[in-house]
A and B are shown apart, each in its own frame.
Chain A
Amino acid sequence: MKARIILATAIIPLGLIIAAVPENTTKPYKLTAEQLLEEVKSGTQFMQPDEIADMVIAKDPTLQLIDVRAADEFEKFNLPGAINIPLVDILNHEWEETINQDVKMNVFYSNGTNDANQAWMITRQLGYQNNYVLQGGVNYWAETIMNPQVPPSTSPNEEMAKYDLRKGAGMALGGAADASQPAVASAGGGAKPPIQKKDKKKKVQGGC
């Protein structure tokens, strides 16, 4: 038998097998489904609007807000300093360096929590770190930071303090706050998650 035929009979079936296997098993993700479920259950990816507002006001250079809504929505309204990566473009190579890094703390936000959380899930499954989700999204942000409700006067002190804080933040961010109220200096006690350095896996070198 000719060698070419032997080669063909050996390699075509192998090619068929490899073509029939679903891609995600030939290209393993960095995180297994179980690991991801654990993280989803613990919900550590969520950031409270108050923490984010503090960081925005303090112009914290490590904060990077990422708006995952469509471009036209981003044009209409966005949070200070945010960049726009529509959810559909999240896997675009253009953004890879932005969402896979170990310098900044990325916070995804959308109108609600949903789209931002989906963006987080995708990046997390790729093994990227330092990505978070703004709890409640723009809607909740507008409610709590820009137009905080005066709590009833019977509320405990913590509630009043929180209100003052939000009021101050809202003012600093140009929200509808009463100018007669004293702006409370934002205390730097926010629970800012530490930035995780990338795994010290060695990078392969190559090139001829």
Chain B
Amino acid sequence: MNPYLGGALLGLVLVAAFWISGRGLGASGAAKSVVVTGVKTVAPAHVEKTAFYQDYLKSHTNPMKDWLVFQMLGVVVGGFLSGAIAGRLKFTVEKSPKITNKIRLIFAVLGGIFFGFGSQLGRGCTSGSALTGMAVLSLSGFLSMAAIFGTAFALAYFARKLWI
């Protein structure tokens, strides 16, 4: 798909989200719901005595019955549909030809740890904070966009072996 056409469609999805639910798209919030639910299932006693979880559960009585969780389930279905139509369904590890699968996976986990942590600290990821924030012209949207992409550009040189 042409990227500009794709962007316009994504923008329309975003507008639809605002029109229906008064909020934009997001992703990391769903992951947080999963994490909190997981901790609650594995170690309920720990959740009882940790202030953070108690605060979170006060505003989210059932963390899995959350707008973003349902939206992310949709993303998985939508991505699968698109991949199936285009014939891209395949178990692979995508990487630069110069590195091994093992290195790629280690860095993917590391990157995930950083992104997971950062998304909580910054109250939203690229979709929730940067994209949605920019569409409503909020200060935090532009700030997080600049911080995310600026840092990635600044560090690109050091990570070049992973990609090129």
Q: Could you say which residues of chain A place their CB within 8 Å of the CB of B26?
A: 206-208
A4 close to B4 (CB less than 8 A) = yes
Q: Could you say which residues of chain B place their CB within 8 Å of the CB of A204?
A: 21-23
Min CB distance, B54 to chain A, in Å? 18
Specify the chain A residue showing the minimal Cβ separation from B124: A208
Interface size class of A (residues with CB under 8 A): under 10
A208 close to B4 (CB less than 8 A) = no
Which residue numbers of B lie inside 8 Å of A, CB to CB?
A: 2-5, 8, 21-24, 26-29, 67-68, 119, 123-125, 127-129, 132
B4 close to A7 (CB less than 8 A) = yes
Q: Compute how far the CA of A6 lies from the CA of B123 in the bound complex, rounded to whole angstroms.
A: 35
Q: Compute how far the CA of A3 lies from the CA of B27 in the bound complex, rounded to whole angstroms.
A: 29
Q: Compute how far the CA of A153 lies from the CA of B125 in the bound complex, rounded to whole angstroms.
A: 78
B29 close to A208 (CB less than 8 A) = yes
B2 close to A3 (CB less than 8 A) = yes
Q: Could you say which residues of chain B place their CB within 8 Å of the CB of A208?
A: 26-29, 68, 119, 123-125, 127-129, 132
Determine if A157 is an interface residue (Cβ-Cβ < 8 Å): no
Number of A-B pairs whose CB atoms are under 8 Å? 37
Specify the chain B residue showing the minimal Cβ separation from A204: B22
9 residue pairs, one from A and one from B, having the closest CB atoms = A208-B128, A208-B124, A204-B22, A208-B26, A206-B23, A7-B4, A3-B4, A208-B29, A208-B28
A-B CB contact pairs (8 Å), 22 listed: A3-B2, A3-B3, A3-B5, A4-B4, A6-B4, A204-B21, A204-B22, A204-B23, A205-B23, A205-B67, A206-B22, A206-B23, A207-B26, A207-B29, A207-B124, A207-B128, A208-B26, A208-B27, A208-B28, A208-B119, A208-B127, A208-B132
Specify the chain A residue showing the minimal Cβ separation from B144: A208
- Which residues of A in the span 154-208 have a Cβ within 8 Å of any Cβ on B? 204-208
Task: Determine which residue in A7, A205, A206, A208 has the highest number of CB atoms from chain B within 10 A of its CB, and name it.
Answer: A208
Q: In the complex, which of the residues A7, A205, A207 contacts B123, with contact meaning CB atoms closer than 8 Å?
A: A207
Q: Could you say which residues of chain B place their CB within 8 Å of the CB of A205?
A: 23, 67
Min CB distance, A1 to chain B, in Å? 12
Given contacts A206-B23, A208-B27, 13 further A-B contacts (CB under 8 A): A3-B2, A3-B4, A3-B5, A7-B8, A204-B21, A206-B22, A206-B24, A206-B128, A207-B26, A207-B123, A207-B124, A208-B68, A208-B129
Specify the chain A residue showing the minimal Cβ separation from B21: A204
Q: Could you say which residues of chain B place their CB within 8 Å of the CB of A206?
A: 22-24, 26, 128, 132
Q: Could you say which residues of chain A place their CB within 8 Å of the CB of B29?
A: 207-208
Q: Could you say which residues of chain B place their CB within 8 Å of the CB of A6?
A: 4
Specify the chain A residue showing the minimal Cβ separation from B23: A206
